[in-house]
Structure 1
C-alpha cells in the first residue's frame, strides 16, 4: 500500500456549485412529486381528473 487515502482538494466554486445544483434538483423533484406523484405510482389516472386547462371555461361546444 502507498499510505492512507488523501482526498483531493476541490475548489470552493465547484463545491458550492455542486451543492446549489444538487439542492435545486432535489427541490424540483419534490415539486414534481407533489404535482404528479400519485399519477406516477398509478394510483390516479390523468384522464380521471379535470385538466388544469379546462378550469374556469364553460363548455358551450
Structure 2
C-alpha cells in the first residue's frame, strides 16, 4: 500500500529539508507527495530529482 504526504515545508531547497524528505519517502514508501512552499515561484525537473529522487512525476502550481 502506498501512503500520501502533504507537507507545508519551509526551505524546500535547503539540504536538510531534502534529506528529511528523502528519508520520509523511503521509510514510508510514499506514492504521492504534496509540498506547499510559499516562497518558491518555480521548480524544474532537476530540482525535483534533487529534492525527492528520480522517477517522480511532478506538477507545479504558482497561484
TM > 0.5 between the two?
Answer: no
Question: What is the TM-score when the length of structure 1 is the normalising length?
Answer: 0.26
- Higher share of residues assigned strand: 2
Pick the structure with greater CA Rg: 1
Normalising by structure 2, what TM-score? 0.25
Kindly indicate whether structure 1 or structure 2 has the higher relative contact order, using CA contacts under 8 Å at least 6 residues apart. Answer: 2
> Is the helix fraction higher in 1 or 2?
1
